[in-house]
Amino acid sequence: MNNTMQEIIDWIEDHLFEDFSLERLGNDMGYSPYYCSFKFHQITGITIKRYMALRKVYLAAIELKETKQRTIDIAFKHGFLSQEAFSRAFKGTFGVNPSVFRRKPQPLQTFVKFNINSIKDGFSMDISQKLKIGTLQNRIQDQFDRDILNILNGQMMYEEFHNHQLMEKSDYVPFNEAMCSNETTYPIFSDEFNKIRASGHQVTLHDYERITLTPLKPLMEKQYQCMVLWFGDDMFCQMNMLTLLAHLEQEGYEGKVYFHMVKELTYDVEETDILLGGYKEIYEQVLIHHRLPEANLMPVMYQGISLYLEYLKDDNEITAFIRKNLGKPQDELLQQLFRLFPHYGLGDLQYIKMIKAVKEA
């Protein structure tokens, strides 16, 4: 079945910018149109129409960023019937108009072609990315000497940097949290915040302090000229980063802030200069009140927030997929969830909790 499903995906990619015909797909694959549509949704968790829409707008965004082609030509090339239709789809996906993005490109959440046979099996890094990370670090250190704090998204990334000898002369700390899960409050890292987060994670306050707060002592106790936030493009990372940006505003931080967006599977890095302002309000609107903010956001954060609000729903695309695949062994189901929903960035514990909730519903 996986081979057949991959053939269907390959066919869709080959005809991505044409007028899509489910009947033609079925004829070429040797199955009924209904079967192709049903199996695609069952195995990938989204419809063919949604998959094609996300792929087209993402690939168009890359051309906006990397070429000088006219916007209308890019729109037509990627299967949009008008520039207006392209603009609506682009803003609906990334929260910003194509013209604004082209003038000042910012990080996007990657949406690559589905590979049904791929398995999430940890991190990998080639030497070119290691050198690129070193170059970024050296440039920042030349500017700020050693007065820099690098904050990495979680213990795993922290250990990956350590294992690959990427810990340079400045300070490094992990942010061991999962802000997309459980309730929160403001001020960040207040006594109330710490108690609520510990309770949500079902750990003692002592353990929360040991796991999350103790590694962050340099952030709490020292003054730095520069903060470098090393986070991924998925929902999990973006909610953590939003929390840290709100914390920096809360503390009146006036130094420089860089976002180094790390692609988890390759460790490719994209640097963005962040200006603080409004993140406290965005944090409250999103993580406390659970609503989409009206503020202008980086596309990758807009995408992360949109996914977070979807994730909060009892009936979302992940729970729908789990419900259709409850008969599978848990380990197999977990592997499928990792493979099909990497843009959420969830781990074993979050998925196991969702599987349990679906079973008990």
pLDDT digits (tens, 9 = 90+) for 164-180: 778 878 899 999 999 99
Average pLDDT over residues 8-29: 92
pLDDT, residue 145, reads 74
Chain centroid to CA 188: 22
Q: Which residue type is seen at 276?
A: L
Residue range 247-265, pLDDT digits in tens: 999 999 999 999 999 876 6
pLDDT, residue 212, reads 98
Q: Which of residues 122 and 202 earns the better pLDDT score?
A: 202
pLDDT, residue 125, reads 45
pLDDT, residue 167, reads 80
Residues 6+ apart with CB under 8 A from 75: 60, 82, 83, 85, 86
**Residue by residue, what is the 3-state secondary structure of the chain?**
CHHHHHHHHHHHHHCCCCCCCHHHHHHHHCCCHHHHHHHHHHHHCCCHHHHHHHHHHHHHHHHHHHCCCCHHHHHHHCCCCCHHHHHHHHHHHHCCCHHHHHHCCCCCCCCCCCCCCCCCCCCCCCHHHHHHHHHHHHHHHHHHCCCEEEEECHHHHHHHHHHCCCCCCCEEEECCCCCCCCCCCCCCCCHHHHHHHHHHHCCCHHHHHHHHHHHHHHHHHCCCCEEEEEECCCHHHHHHHHHHHHHHHHCCCCCEEEEEEECCCCCCEEEEEECCCCHHHHHHHHHHCCCCCCCCCCHHHHHHHHHHHHHCCCCCHHHHHHHHCCCCCHHHHHHHHHHHCCCCCCCHHHHHHHHHHHHHC
Q: Which of residues 38 and 188 earns the better pLDDT score?
A: 188
Q: Classify domain 2-103 at the CATH superfamily level.
A: Homeodomain-like (1.10.10.60)
Residue range 181-195, pLDDT digits in tens: 999 999 999 999 999
- Work out the percent of the chain whose per-residue pLDDT is above 90: 74
- Tell whether the model's pLDDT for residue 142 goes beyond 90: no
Residue range 274-309, pLDDT digits in tens: 999 999 999 999 999 999 998 999 999 999 999 999
pLDDT, residue 166, reads 81
Q: Mean pLDDT over all residues of the chain?
A: 91
Range with lowest mean pLDDT among 60-69, 102-111, 263-272: 263-272
pLDDT, residue 122, reads 41
Confidence of residue 215 (pLDDT cuts 50, 70, 90): very high
Q: Would you list the domain boundaries of the chain? A: 2-103, 127-309, 313-360
- Work out the percent of the chain whose per-residue pLDDT is above 70: 94
